[in-house]
A and B are shown apart, each in its own frame.
Chain A
């Protein structure tokens, strides 16, 4: 941050600027790359499941029950003789859809709530944020569990339950920088230039807090996938026979003594996806945190 103006270079467009700073964030933290690549591989595998899965995930084969991994069944078969690898690939679809959709809605609603509370302040802020705090303090798994139990275990209801429990962190993360940015002079400058609230919020504040929200998004996507798996493990997942990772572990756990891989394979898959997302989000968070900037 020297006082000199760099030599003439073509001015970047805002998009190029955004891309460039994102790339810089990735480069300063190599582990983010590892996380991103692993996560994208899982996404691609889930999308390609119908083409690359060796078997039908629902096809039962009574002659091949509880088989250990072999050439025909790379990751073995379950209690009904279904191919574990195929179920794993199809299960990824469920995990990703539920995770991404619920996180998206939580992000959207939470950001609006947080920005609104931060911008308007006063009583509104107090009431909304205390409600958020209560929701945040309540064990999200228990809340999700009750909501799903009451509404019934369908995909939509699971998405609603998980989205509901993930709203408060986004509201919090959107509120703090909104207040910080609101108090910065450029927002006062915008007001004195006669800009409307909506314009200031959407054009001037949102882009400034978006990176933090997206980083939170990757961390909470990991959490949503974990919650979905936990619910399925408890028996509140998308109804069988549809393959879900949590459900596979639940079924595998019943045969833990002789066919331990049935629980281990989906367990490791969940772990890898969550770890990849955490690597991604954690690395990016370090990179965009202004407090840590300028240090080695």
Chain B
């Protein structure tokens, strides 16, 4: 690192004006990015990592933000440049890509124009030359049939393709530095792997530096040379990736690394295990003892799903005729015992959430049978269904969205008790207090509104509300996916405590395979509405048999810097959709038993 850094951040402090007061969200941050180096800026939500990136590009609204310090690039302080000079730097010497590829492209301009624009304004090219160059860049980011894509509008492209277009746009002028702000967070894990691979490759080809902002320690380990760890606006620690992972100096870094679930860490343990307890002062983790299985496999399963099918009709044309069907859930069968956790894993659009909602009949299934405690859920009338739903509850991804913002959390928890006439007001108050205590909150918080709580606390409230009706089954739909890692570990431990205490059956719907490995007794992998592999967790995860399961596992980033050299090879996947013509008849699937209770869909030739 003797060469002059490409970017040198010195004493960066960014403040926002909130209610007339200046509040600093990033304080006195300094770091360098050397030539051809990849620096990861990592932190949980509210750490100021994205603000750091936006400050560097001077993209924050001038009216209510203030950036102090120095950002040196090729001997110039970017913060001191006049706006017009700065404009010439953006997209030219320094480029940026963002988290949300779906909203970051202009819907009314063609993809080609949006890429060519950078060339027109920075390189002074005319339209034709710019278009020819654009085509070359699109091929470099491995967009299939680039020539035909150039005149398309963004809504025709998938999320992964749009992120490739964003990258093409950023690299058009061969920048010295690429700032990537959580570029893969919104993408599926297999697409994420492809985009990370692409960024690595292009970095080598172009010889540029990368500032990679992320919350995912796995991604950090895969991509970066050095790491800057941030916490609530301060830099906590900085070091080479290998050193930081092997030997974290600060308690926060240690705690962060301890809380990260690692795929493969459960090898040889048949049952789920709670996350290690982390001492908040020292950051030292104490592993929890191995557990005894809570699953009551001897009893009749709480939930038996057989040949479940849920399809949505797509109407089109003048008279709204059914033009096609989305086969969201296709011939799904499984059972779930009391005290057992079955995870449904898969990527977006695979039908895992629809499966969960179909079981509760929040969405009406098309066919199949759902037996809950020996009762046929699909045969229930409205009244009986409402009564049965007391025993099957749901927890959602966004706890804030699943609480009514205008009701106190106490009344939110009490409401189901009162509606179902399980107790009177006074008894409800006591029950609420007990429930809140059980999920790790204090009863005096009952009078507050959802916005007064943190994300983790809100998810605890949702769990308390679900528990109020003493359910047998809880469908947890991405219940911990939106939480920061340390909070995620705590909420999962709580869920496992409750499972042990009440013998709850969890249908755990998640895209995060590392978490799934930690919590589940059994795992079902879904792809295009079908279960392609199902079996005991240890067997499915340690010994995946289906091609798709293997691909999925291989794509998961592992927080292990030694794996950085591992190359997955470049590929461009377009996830097929489960949409079919109306006359489509799904093939009959055959499953092969490859181990005890471990079934794999036989791949069609």
Output the least CB separation between B456 and chain A (Å). Answer: 8
- Distance in Å: Cβ of B319 to nearest Cβ of chain A: 12
Q: A30 CB to closest chain B CB, in angstroms?
A: 15
B452 touches A3 (CB 8 A): no
A65 at the interface (CB under 8 A from B): no
Once the chains bind, are B454 and A186 in contact (CB under 8 Å)? no
B365 to chain A, nearest CB (A): 15
State whether B451 touches A184 (Cβ < 8 A). no
Q: How far is the CA of A8 from the CA of B452 in the complex (A)?
A: 11
Query: Which of A5, A184, A207 lies in contact with B402, CB distance below 8 A?
Result: A184
- Stretch with Cβ within 8 A of A (4 or more), from B331-339, B441-449, B533-541: B441-449
A-contact bits for B419-449, CB 8 A (1 contact / 0 none): 1100000000000000000000000111111
Contact between chains at A199 and B419 (CB < 8 Å): yes
A11/B406 in contact, CB under 8 A? no
Q: Report if A192-B405 is in contact (Cβ < 8 Å); known contacts: A10-B447, A17-B449, A296-B64.
A: no
Interface residue B38 (Cβ < 8 Å from any Cβ of A) = no
Asked if B116 is an interface residue, CB under 8 A from chain A, the answer is no
The reply to whether A186 and B403 form a contact with Cβ atoms under 8 Å apart is: yes
User: Which of A1, A3, A191, A193 contacts B415 (CB under 8 A)?
Assistant: A193
Binds A, one of B154-162, B165-173, B382-390, B498-506: B382-390
Q: A189-B394, A192-B393, A208-B405 are in contact. Are A11 and B447 (CB under 8 A)?
A: yes
Interface residues of B, CB < 8 Å — how many? 46
Check A185–B405 contact: CB distance below 8 A. Answer: no
The contact of A5 among B385, B386, B454, by CB within 8 Å, is B454
- Indicate if the CB atoms of A296 and B416 lie closer than 8 Å: no
With contacts A4-B454, A11-B408, A193-B393 taken as known, whether A188 is within 8 angstroms of B449 at the C-beta atoms is no
Tell me the nearest residue of chain A to B410, going by C-beta. A11
Asked if B144 is an interface residue, CB under 8 A from chain A, the answer is no
Q: How far is the CB of B210 from chain A (nearest CB, A)?
A: 29
For residue B451, which residues in chain A have a CB less than 8 angstroms away from its CB?
Answer: 1
A2 within 8 A of B: yes
Given the complex of chains A and B, what is the CA–CA distance between A220 and B437 in angstroms? 48
For B46, list chain A residues within 8 Å (CB): 2-3
Contacting pair A5 B452 (CB below 8 A): yes
Chain B 360-402, CB within 8 Å of chain A: the 1/0 string?
1010000000000000000000000111011011101110011
- Residue B140 lies at the interface, judged by CB distance under 8 Å to chain A: no
Residue of A nearest to B455 (CB): A3
Residue on A with the closest CB to B23? A2
Closest Cβ–Cβ distance, residue A201 to chain B (whole Å)? 13
Nearest Cβ on chain A to B18's Cβ, whole angstroms: 8
Interface code A1-24, partner B: CB below 8 Å = 1, 0 otherwise?
A: 111111010111010011000000
Interface mask (A72-114 → B, CB under 8 Å = 1, otherwise 0): 0000000000000000000000000000000000000000000
Q: How far is it, in angstroms, between the C-alpha of A185 and the C-alpha of B357 when the chains are bound?
A: 12
- A-facing mask of B320-359, CB < 8 A → 1, else 0? 0000000000000000000000000000000000000100
Q: Which residues of B contact A296 (CB under 8 A)?
A: 17, 63-64
| Min CB–CB distance B86 → chain A (angstroms) | 22
Asked whether any CB of chain A lies closer than 8 Å to the CB of B591, the reply is: no
B404 on interface, CB distance cutoff 8 Å: yes
Task: Tell which of B357, B386, B457 touches A194, judged by Cβ atoms closer than 8 Å.
Answer: B386
Q: Does B462 contact A (CB under 8 A)?
A: yes
- Across the interface, do A194 and B404 meet the contact criterion of CB distance under 8 Å? no
Chain A's interface: helix, strand, loop or mixed, by majority?
loop
Within 8 Å of chain A (Cβ to Cβ): is B598? no
Given A5-B457, A11-B447, decide whether A192 and B360 contact each other with a Cβ distance below 8 A.
yes
Cβ A188 vs Cβ B362 within 8 A: yes
| Contact (Cβ within 8 A) A14 B444 | no
Residues of B within 8 A of A184 (CB): 401-402
Given contacts A194-B419, A204-B404, contact A185 B362 (CB under 8 A): no
**CB atoms of B402 and A186 under 8 A apart:** yes
Pick from B398, B406, B453, B457: contact of A185, CB under 8 Å: B398
Verify A191–B362 contact, CB threshold 8 A: yes
Q: Does A70 contact B (CB under 8 A)?
A: no
In the complex, whether B460 has a CB less than 8 A from a CB of chain A is no
Q: Tell me if A192 and B454 are in contact (CB < 8 A).
A: no
Give the docked Cα–Cα distance between A10 and B394 (Å): 31
**Bound-state Cα–Cα, A296 to B65, Å:** 10
| Residue A124 interfacial (CB < 8 Å) | no
User: Once bound together, how far apart are the Cα atoms of A194 and B407, in whole Å?
Assistant: 18
B387–A194 CB distance below 8 A: yes
Q: How far is the CB of A85 from chain B (nearest CB, A)?
A: 45
B469 at the interface (CB under 8 A from A): yes
B63/A192 in contact, CB under 8 A: no
Q: How far is the CB of B381 from chain A (nearest CB, A)?
A: 13
Q: Tell me if B472 is interfacial: C-beta within 8 Å of chain A.
A: no
Interface membership of B465, Cβ < 8 A: yes
A279 to chain B, nearest CB (A): 24
Q: Are A6 and B452 in contact (CB under 8 A)?
A: yes
Residues of chain B lying within 8 A (CB to CB) of residue A192: 360, 362, 389, 392-394
**A189 near B462 (CB under 8 angstroms)?**
yes
A193 in contact with B453 (CB, 8 Å) = no
CB neighbours (8 Å) of B404 from chain A are 186, 204, 208
Shortest A121–chain B CB gap in Å is 13
Q: In the assembly, what is the distance between CA of A5 and CA of B444, in Å? A: 12
User: In the complex, what residues of A have CB within 8 A of residue B457's CB?
Assistant: 5
* Pair A185/B396 contact, Cβ less than 8 Å: yes
CB closest chain-B residue, reference A181: B404
Which residues of chain A are near B403, meaning CB under 8 Å?
186, 189
* Residues of chain B from 235 to 268 with CB closer than 8 A to chain A in the complex: none
Known: A208-B405, A296-B64. A193 touches B419 (CB 8 A): yes
Q: Is A120 an interface residue (CB 8 A)?
A: no
Known: A185-B401, A194-B419. A11 touches B446 (CB 8 A): yes
Contacts of A186 in B (CB 8 A): 401-404
* 5 A–B contacts from the bound complex (CB under 8 Å): A17-B449, A189-B462, A193-B419, A195-B416, A196-B386
B residues at A contact (CB < 8 Å)? 17, 46, 63-64, 357, 360, 362, 385-387, 389-390, 392-394, 396-398, 401-408, 410, 415-416, 419-420, 444-449, 451-455, 457, 462, 465, 469
Beyond contacts A10-B447, A194-B416, A195-B416: 6 other A-B pairs, Cβ-Cβ < 8 A, are A5-B452, A8-B444, A11-B447, A185-B396, A188-B357, A199-B419
